Amino acid sequence: MMAQEYAGRERREFFRLDYETPLAYKVCREETISSILNGYTANISQSGLLCSIKEKVHKEDVLWLCFDKGTLNVCQDLERQVLIYQNGIIGKVARVEDKSDGSYSVGVRFITREEKNLTHIYPTVHFMDKDPVK
């Protein structure tokens, strides 16, 4: 069955730019935080990105994402707004879709600096620092 093209009003707040580049990421849970995983981005906007990864993640998981942001003009604005930790952008999984090749198409919404305090996204909590600096 072929997917029908959506003809309705665009619901996204920001324009999405097709942008395929390698992506390194971590799933911010105690059992996975020490593993750097690899995938690639498919598109990006000021509020998030769509990526393709091999590991299963769940909606609401917090991810650390690292990719070549220097080549994108949209990322100049991003760096002023989003939560950045250890040169990576922090985001929350908004949706996960299985792909036919066994990988996953994952929509990630960037967490903003203002939102950090409202959602209690702190490195020592989500990144499970074993020896936090006191």
Q: Is there a contact between 24 and 37 (Cβ–Cβ < 8 Å)? A: yes
User: Residue 88 has which token pair?
Assistant: 């990576």
Q: Which domains can be identified in the chain, with CATH numbers?
A: 17-126 (2.40.10)
Q: What is the pLDDT of residue 55?
A: 94
Residue 91 pLDDT more than 80? yes
Q: How far apart are CA 22 and CA 67, in angstroms?
A: 6
Residue type, 117: N
Q: Is 18 helix (H, G, I), strand (E, B) or coil?
A: strand
Contact 20, 48 (CB under 8 A): no
Burial class for 97, CB neighbours closer than 10 Å (0-12, 13-18, 19+) = exposed
pLDDT digits (tens, 9 = 90+) for 18-63: 888 899 999 988 888 889 999 999 998 888 999 999 999 999 999 9
pLDDT number for residue 49: 93
pLDDT of 73 above 70:
no
Give yes or no for a contact between 52 and 105, defined as CB atoms under 8 angstroms apart. Answer: yes
CB contact at 8 A, 17 and 74: yes
Average pLDDT of the chain to the nearest whole number = 78
Calpha distance 24→86 (Å, rounded)? 12
pTM of the model: 0.75
- Of residues 55 and 71, more confidence is placed in 55
Q: Which of 67, 58, 70 is nearest to 28 (CA)?
A: 58
Question: Residue 89: is its pLDDT beyond 50?
Answer: yes
The pLDDT-based confidence of 67 (bands split at 50, 70, 90) is: confident
